[in-house]
Structure 1
Amino acid sequence: MSTRLTPSEPFPEHLVPLDVPEVEVLNSKLERELTHEYVRDGEPDPETEFRHEEVTEELDRRDAVETGAPTAPLLHVVHPPVEAARRSS
């Protein structure tokens, strides 16, 4: 079992159905991957940054729901597959 989640590895299409521990594991793996990419390349892969942002937003949303704090509306954004995005840039 890897402790990091590389940009080429599968990532859940939707985070809402996952249990909190599953989202926390994703967050941990993505944070480790970000650190690895910064050390290796000096900057993170855009896919890793996007995934980390998505997981962070989901954890923040869950925290807000748990505490009763108001949350920003969830926006559904469709992103192209990683390879298609790389080819177009």
Structure 2
Amino acid sequence: MAAGVWDGIDKERVAKAMVTAYLSDEYLEALAAINNAETLAELAAARDKVKDLMALWREEAPEYAFVIDALYLFSEKIQVQLTGEA
């Protein structure tokens, strides 16, 4: 039997974390800043926002902080696109 996409993942925790993130203006602003970055300097500024969010979420909502970590990982992929690295 093929493994399901949610096998081994706490679906309720992930869902609550994502809803919390999507309802957070700060999260959405950081996501937009990363997604809209056209230069490494703009991306660096966006990452600074993400780092601030990481500290806040680890203190205020540690069970959902992985969402902010994923946002930082997304910024790393955007950097690859901006620099043309493989």
What is the TM-score of this pair, normalised by structure 1? Answer: 0.48
What is the TM-score of this pair, normalised by structure 2? Answer: 0.49
The structure carrying a bigger helix percent of its residues is 2
